[in-house]
Amino acid sequence: MAARALPLIAGAALASLTLGPVAVVLLRAGGLGALAPGDLAALRFTFVQAMISAAVSVTLAVPVARALVRQRFPGRAALVALMGAPFILPVIVAVMGLIAVFGRNGLVNGLLGALNLPLVDVYGLHGVVLAHVFFNLPLAVRMLLNGWQAVPGERLRLAASLGLSRGAMWRVIDAPVVLRVAPGAFVVIFVICLTSFAVALTLGGGPRATTVELAIYQAMRFDFDLGRAAALALVQLALGLAAGLVALKVARGEGFGAGRDRIVPRRDGRGWARGADFAWIVAAALFLLVPLGTVMTRGTAGLLLLGPDTFRAAGHSVAVALASTLLCMGWAMALANRRGELLALSAIAVSPLVLGTGLFLMLRPFVNPFSMALPVTALVNALMGLPFALRIIVPQAEAVEADFGRLRASLGMTGFAWWRLVWLPRLRRPLGFASGLVAALAMGDLGVIALFADPDRATLPLQVYRLMGSYQMEAAAGAALLLLGLSLGAFVLLDRGGRLADA
């Protein structure tokens, strides 16, 4: 009975905490406000940048993932792991790295200037798209790579025995993988880019480069027009839910069937194709790892300039990440099924700023809402991380249910015994990975806290943004390096904890 009640309670709490704050904002505003002409421009810009970002990310990911699946070389596993780092990188840290490489005084413009070529500008639409591709290219590569690795070795051996040409291999093996995985990857990245805030705040922000999330921030922070902010949030929610439903639909598709899990090297990556593959791998590695290396190089000297405010902000970030991870994983374990995953879609589509504002309005009659900035930030980050955690956990949870469900029924196991003896031991690895991902994302989030925190309750991403705003760039680089270390440390510690427990 308790086992059946827990998912219902968790689902009701999730629905209340995502839709309730939006309703509270609407009631406080007295209804929906009218959209301004600038808001329509923001909506158009949001849609355009999300479409371009998703298209470029997926298009570039196809040759990179294909090259990684065709070639074997020393350090390949480490390179694949490092190329995934940008996805868990704090946004503000990644922006600093991109500015160091593509900014006015960056490495690329230094090279172009030496060659008397026109300089590039990292701000505006192309800067926002560049940052989104930097974040989401690794995600698209990993999704496509998983699709190719799921092709049974027996299919590759049969193709080799038939002497298929490279063109035939593309038609028979590669094209079906791309058609099955790429549409889902495109929609997932499109949804992520829809709610872009920190990237647009730092690299966009002008009237011609404002996202809906940034327009919500401006409506709340500067105009205090809650009705307009709620209307924008509902538009964003509708777009996100529509895209999410499309993602769930296009994610379905027939694979290549089961095999015997044998690794069979591909023969179509020889000759000139080997050179082309390594060119794609090197280009992707340089694009993703040079900004990361630049942040580490420039931040080392800045560590000596960090003051007590930065270290206090770091403590706040660690506390927020810990609370968000515990809350999110408790939620995820209770909702680890397809219905829970569908319900969690609303969490990623609703504006975090509107969620935070609604929660503050709900708390206002009882406590000073600004004293609750950190707990509210932790709660909103847990909600934002829930869809990612469920996407990692649900496939393995369904497999465990399919493999051991009948045994459970025949033995009459209680819910707690099933959880302790079967479910938890077999899900420690995905639980560890999901915990690390949620902790890293929460550690680097710059959303709700930017709207409500005072100097005494700032988190580390907000402190980095403030140092950048006051032109203390060297100290900002040091704080960014500290944030990078905390985020990666949390991810590695929790992910490795799950692997060790699984060993």
> How far is it between the farthest Cα atoms of the chain?
77
Q: What is the pLDDT of residues 116-152, one digit of tens each?
A: 888 877 788 888 899 899 988 988 887 788 778 777 7
Range of the domain at 177: 7-501
Distances (CA, A) of 311 to 95, 149, 227, 409, 491: 21, 43, 38, 53, 20
Please state the rounded mean pLDDT for residues 199-207: 73
Confidence grade of residue 63 (pLDDT, cut at 50, 70, 90): very high
Among the listed residues 408, 440, 411, 439, the one whose alpha carbon sits nearest the alpha carbon of residue 426: 408
166 within domain boundaries: yes
Is residue 294 within 8 A of residue 186, CB to CB? The reply is no
Contacts by residues 120-124 (CB-CB < 8 Å, ≥ 24 positions apart): 122/98, 122/203, 123/203, 123/204, 123/206, 123/209, 124/203, 124/204, 124/206, 124/208, 124/209
Q: What is the pLDDT of residues 440-465, one digit of tens each?
A: 888 877 777 776 767 678 888 888 88
| Cα separation, 464 vs 288, whole angstroms | 21
1 within domain boundaries: no
194 within domain boundaries: yes
Q: What is the pLDDT of residues 262-271, one digit of tens each?
A: 666 777 767 7
Q: Can you give the pLDDT at residue 499?
A: 58
Q: How many CB atoms neighbour CB 271 within 10 A?
A: 9
| Cα separation, 119 vs 113, whole angstroms | 7
HSE, side-chain direction, 13 A CA sphere, residue 165: 2
Q: Can you give the pLDDT at residue 96?
A: 80
Q: Can you give the pLDDT at residue 321?
A: 93
The structure's pTM equals: 0.75
2 within domain boundaries: no
Q: What is the 3-state secondary structure (H, E, C) of 216-274?
A: HHHHHHHHCCHHHHHHHHHHHHHHHHHHHHHHHHHCCCCCCCCCCCCCCCCCCCCCHHH
Q: Can you give the pLDDT at residue 255?
A: 54
| Cα separation, 363 vs 383, whole angstroms | 18
51 within domain boundaries: yes
Please state the rounded mean pLDDT for residues 293-321: 87
312 within domain boundaries: yes
Q: What is the pLDDT of residues 222-250, one digit of tens each?
A: 777 777 887 888 888 788 777 767 766 66
- 3 state DSSP class of 122: coil
Among the listed residues 12, 31, 34, 13, the one whose alpha carbon sits nearest the alpha carbon of residue 22: 31
Q: How many independent structural domains does the chain possess?
A: 1
Classify the phi-psi angles of 75: left when phi > 0, otherwise alpha if psi is within -120 to 50, otherwise beta. left
Q: Can you give the pLDDT at residue 253?
A: 52
209 within domain boundaries: yes
Q: Can you give the pLDDT at residue 327?
A: 92
Q: What is the pLDDT of residues 157-168, one digit of tens each?
A: 777 777 777 788
Distances (CA, A) of 244 to 16, 161, 239: 20, 41, 8
The encoded tokens of residue 118 equal: 């026109």
More confident residue, 260 or 444: 444
Does residue 414 have a pLDDT over 90?
Answer: no
| Cα separation, 480 vs 207, whole angstroms | 28
Give the CATH number of the domain where residue 20 resides.
Answer: 1.10.3720.10
Q: What is the pLDDT of residues 215-229, one digit of tens each?
A: 888 887 777 777 788
Please state the rounded mean pLDDT for residues 406-432: 81
Does residue 258 have a pLDDT over 70?
Answer: no
Average pLDDT, rounded, for the chain: 80
Among the listed residues 486, 84, 498, 492, the one whose alpha carbon sits nearest the alpha carbon of residue 315: 486
| Cα separation, 227 vs 210, whole angstroms | 19
Distances (CA, A) of 247 to 200, 405, 423: 24, 28, 28
Please state the rounded mean pLDDT for residues 328-343: 83
Q: What is the pLDDT of residues 348-401, one digit of tens each?
A: 667 777 777 788 788 877 877 777 888 888 888 888 888 888 877 887 787 778
| Cα separation, 462 vs 450, whole angstroms | 6
Placement of tokens 């203390």 in the chain: 472
Does residue 314 have a pLDDT over 80?
Answer: yes
Is residue 357 within 8 A of residue 226, CB to CB? The reply is yes
The encoded tokens of residue 332 equal: 């995820």
What's the DSSP call for residue 372?
Answer: G
| Cα separation, 223 vs 31, whole angstroms | 16
Say which residues have a Cβ less than 8 Å from residue 26's Cβ, sequence separation at least 6.
32, 227, 230
| Cα separation, 378 vs 442, whole angstroms | 8
Calculate the dihedral angle through the C-alpha atoms of 17, 18, 24, 29, rounding to the nearest 10 degrees.
160
More confident residue, 206 or 281: 281
Q: Which amino acid is at 465?
A: Y
Sign of CA dihedral 39, 41, 43, 46: negative
- In the chain the first and final C-alpha atoms are separated, in Å, by 33
Sign of CA dihedral 225, 227, 232, 233: positive
Q: How many CB atoms neighbour CB 1 within 10 A?
A: 6
